[in-house]
């Protein structure tokens, strides 16, 4: 007897794709926000810091509902996007958006700590040598903060992979479209005699997350060298 159905395999692949896309989209934004919070003093900095960490304390279902209100077909942002053919609600791209929003604080935090750990004199030395701000960031800050960037990407991927509450509220659990691995596990626990299927899916989730963490650690060690 097959332990995994076609819908289960599709959910596994969709979760990997959603987590990957969410991480790739969120990472440059998180890098910019982390650099602002670590190196700049400006009006509204505390507000930006609070907004960055809001998904950590807000219930995931509330986050998903807010995304639905904003990015749904009738929402202020969703209606504008729909005019150009971009639909997020009840679509896999919406699942990537929800996963990215929930993962965002965990991506920002290690990057910010890595940038704050860099001695400002290093940046000042590059400045005295005539390096432009972008050149200092790309040639000095980013390489030195690489372990934190990698850690943030791995944490973000793992968090996006396990996102459930915001995703199911925003895009539901449509097989082949928005049914991710966490949603499949939940549905398996709700069906009669679905314990074995749920355990198998949990095992698959564990393997994927564990592999991502090990890969991140290996890349991080290499970057530190």
The domains of the chain are located at 6-116+148-224
CB atoms inside a 10 Å sphere around CB 27:
21
- Give residue 65's pLDDT: 95
Q: Residue range 142-155: average pLDDT?
A: 90
- Give residue 130's pLDDT: 67
Please answer whether residues 121 and 50 qualify as being in contact, where contact means their C-beta atoms are separated by less than 8 angstroms.
Answer: no
- Percentage of the chain exceeding pLDDT 90: 55
Q: Residues 105-138: pLDDT tens digits? A: 999 999 999 999 888 777 767 767 666 777 788 7
Question: What secondary structure does DSSP assign to 39-73, as a single string?
Answer: H---TTHHHHHHHHHHHHHS-HHHHHHHHHHHHST
* R_g of the chain, CA atoms, integer Å: 20
Q: Which CATH number fits domain 6-116+148-224: 1.10.3720.10, 3.40.50.300, 3.90.1300.10, 1.10.1740.10?
A: 1.10.3720.10
Q: Residues 32-57: pLDDT tens digits? A: 999 999 988 889 889 999 999 999 99
- Give residue 64's pLDDT: 95
Question: Does pTM surpass 0.85?
Answer: yes
Confidence tier at 209 by pLDDT (50, 70, 90): confident
Nearest to 199 by CA among 219, 184, 221: 184
Q: How far apart are CA 202 and CA 205, in angstroms?
A: 5
- Give residue 122's pLDDT: 74
Tokens representing 52 are 């960055």
Beta strand extents in 47-196 (DSSP E only) = none
Nearest to 184 by CA among 207, 154, 158, 161: 161
The residue among 132 and 180 whose pLDDT is bigger is: 180
- Give residue 1's pLDDT: 47
* Sign of torsion over alpha carbons 46, 51, 57, 58: positive
CB atoms inside a 10 Å sphere around CB 213:
15
Nearest to 30 by CA among 114, 131, 135: 114
């Amino acid at each position: 007897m097959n332990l995994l159905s076609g819908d289960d395999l599709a959910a596994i692949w969709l979760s990997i794709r959603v987590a990957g896309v969410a991480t790739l989209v969120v990472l440059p934004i998180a890098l910019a926000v982390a650099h602002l919070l670590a190196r700049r003093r400006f009006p509204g900095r505390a507000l930006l810091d609070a907004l960055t960490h809001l998904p950590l304390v807000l219930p995931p279902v509330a986050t998903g509902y807010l995304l639905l209100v904003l990015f749904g077909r009738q929402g202020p942002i969703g209606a504008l996007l729909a005019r150009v053919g971009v639909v997020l609600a009840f679509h896999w791209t919406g699942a990537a958006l929800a996963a990215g929003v929930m993962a965002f604080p965990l991506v920002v935090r290690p990057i910010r700590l890595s940038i704050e750990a860099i001695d400002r004199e290093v940046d000042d030395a590059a400045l005295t040598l005539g390096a432009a701000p972008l050149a200092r960031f790309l040639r000095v800050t980013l390489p030195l903060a690489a372990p934190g960037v990698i850690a943030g990407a791995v944490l973000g991927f793992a968090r996006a992979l396990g996102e459930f509450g915001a995703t199911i509220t925003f895009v539901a659990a449509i097989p082949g479209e928005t049914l991710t691995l966490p949603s499949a596990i939940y549905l398996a626990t709700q069906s009669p005699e679905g314990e074995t299927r749920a355990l198998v899916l949990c095992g698959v989730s564990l393997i994927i997350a564990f592999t991502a963490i090990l890969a991140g650690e290996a890349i991080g060690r290499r970057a530190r060298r």
